[in-house]
Structure 1
């Protein structure tokens, strides 16, 4: 996950930044929580067409924004940075895979599985920190990982198979955050998003050409409304990411981490209340165990800053 510096101005200025940060954060995760409805509107487009269109139109939209903000020079600097360019190519492939899994889930009445994936994602991110970055975990984080693994085991027994789609979403986004963390905050969010989409745009274009040869492209065949809905995928992709970047610049990372649960909660409510997906007892049990792990993560996020402050006071006493 990218780390951002939080400006701490005095008094009213800091309060204004905090309020704005919450608005941006809830805006970003609120949009992500409502995405299943948008993808359903794109039918009869297949998941492959939707993801290809999302990549291509995102690139167009981002390039327009870069031109309007006179930031195209930052793209040249980015591609001169070999390590950053390679990292963004890998990040692009990971996020494209994540988008494909998510689109498949939401267009095949499996939004609950997508929701589960994003509930698990923070636990996966912590686990990757241990395995890849050799980070030391606090007791509550260890407990959350153990409970999360227990949840996957229980669901595998109940469902008769491992919840691969949910795990695929969680791990693809987890590795995406890990790769992006190697770039840090050297480049603005809009520049890195443009770099990611530019790196995978050739694959998306080839995908569109292949789908068209199979008669599976609906971009121009379903009317103007369908065309503009697909074209809007660029805006739908970029806007919440930019809102997220603005929130992360104004709020502590732990606060942003707690706001992220707005998205899977929204997806969960949509799946049951609007899309009518079934929620049998065994699924409630599986989700319940995952929510216990989530509560442990939230409790750790609340307690950790306080513990650090107390430690600093002891050190200065």
Structure 2
């Protein structure tokens, strides 16, 4: 199998796992969202430690710990993904799955905005058009549906910020090392959330079935698996290919929320989603054109001296 084909399968696998994440969280209904995130961090850290031990990666961990710049960005990215996970768990357990899908549809566009604001990157005209269209979509959702889509925007901004921070680390830190360190960095916050939730609400994990308790323990595997698949895919396929596959997960979440969980999809919300999809179509076409132009430029031989 060609490397590009293998990379595509890995990318699809990663987003399929992320796509079933709402279904997995629903299995743990009855556990408080804040408490659930605390257990997720603990389970993820245990899984990460096992993987690092198996691949003999502790030397890479020690090397990154001596790099202050990388440590700073990994700690910040850990906080960003913790915020993302917390809002996601709250949204799924409170039956706002459709709004989580909107957040991940908006994520590519919010990432473009963050690149302009933080990295001072210059956008191509089509990217500006996509940003403008998506802004209209948010207005339509607010006016037509009557509520501000804060869950969607927090998910999009937090995940976009996570990607931006990870970009600052670059290829210096592999996926497993980065995942382990950023998860460990969130441990004090997540443990405070866990203890606070248990003190205020009580240990809700003791009130659910053994199957649900095992699902909580398996959360670490479900968290780490798509990350490793995605990391392997990113080294094998183009940015354009990854750009298209990333819509698998929110599409699955949207279908699950509407068709299985029975969440409402009135006309005004459907119109808002349709405008977001239009913005994404513009963004993807621009990405494909830019990728082809880059390849043509690389294929042109340099003039002889």
For Structure 1 versus Structure 2, the TM-score category normalised by the shorter chain is over 0.9
Partner of 1:136: 122
Aligned to 1:282, what secondary structure does the other structure show? helix
Partner of 2:92: 106
- Equivalent positions of 1:52-91 (< 5 A) are 52-91=38-77
Unaligned runs of 5+ in 1: 1-14
CA-CA distance at 1:211 after TM superposition = 2.2
Work out the CA distance in 2 between the residues paired with 1:309 and 1:188. 26
Decide which of 149, 158, 163 is 1:177's aligned counterpart.
Answer: 163
Partner of 1:226: 212
Aligned to 2:170, what secondary structure does the other structure show? coil
- RMSD of equivalent CA atoms: 1.5
Work out the CA distance in 1 between the residues paired with 2:210 and 2:199. 21
Is 1:95 paired with 2:98?
Answer: no
Work out the CA distance in 2 between the residues paired with 1:181 and 1:218. 37
How many residues align? The count is: 303
Q: Decide whether the 8 Å contact of 1:25 with 1:247 is kept in 2.
A: yes
Is 1:189 paired with 2:175?
Answer: yes
Work out the CA distance in 2 between the residues paired with 1:259 and 1:277. 25
Q: Decide whether the 8 Å contact of 2:6 with 2:236 is kept in 1.
A: yes
Work out the CA distance in 1 between the residues paired with 2:132 and 2:62. 44
Work out the CA distance in 2 between the residues paired with 1:70 and 1:219. 33
Question: Cα deviations across residues 44-89 of structure 1 (Å, max 9, x unaligned)?
Answer: 0011011111111100100011011111111111111111111111
Is 1:257 paired with 2:233?
Answer: no
Q: Decide whether the 8 Å contact of 2:35 with 2:198 is kept in 1.
A: no
Structure 1 residues 160 and 215, CA gap change in structure 2 (3 angstroms): closer
Work out the CA distance in 2 between the residues paired with 1:46 and 1:83. 35
Work out the CA distance in 1 between the residues paired with 2:60 and 2:169. 14
Partner of 1:8: none
CA-CA distance at 1:143 after TM superposition = 0.8
Aligned to 2:84, what secondary structure does the other structure show? helix
Decide which of 131, 135, 153 is 1:167's aligned counterpart.
Answer: 153
CA-CA distance at 1:214 after TM superposition = 2.8
Partner of 1:38: 24
Aligned to 2:204, what secondary structure does the other structure show? coil
Structure 1 residues 206 and 312, CA gap change in structure 2 (3 angstroms): closer
CA-CA distance at 1:176 after TM superposition = 0.8
Is 1:298 paired with 2:298?
Answer: no
Work out the CA distance in 2 between the residues paired with 1:217 and 1:57. 17
Decide which of 262, 267, 288 is 2:274's aligned counterpart.
Answer: 288
Output the TM-score relative to the length of structure 1. 0.92
Q: Decide whether the 8 Å contact of 2:28 with 2:216 is kept in 1.
A: yes
Aligned to 2:56, what secondary structure does the other structure show? coil
Higher deviation after alignment, 201-210 or 176-185: 201-210
Is 1:28 paired with 2:14?
Answer: yes
Partner of 2:36: 50
Higher deviation after alignment, 15-24 or 87-96: 15-24
Work out the CA distance in 2 between the residues paired with 1:43 and 1:161. 25
Partner of 2:112: 126
Output the TM-score relative to the length of structure 2. 0.95
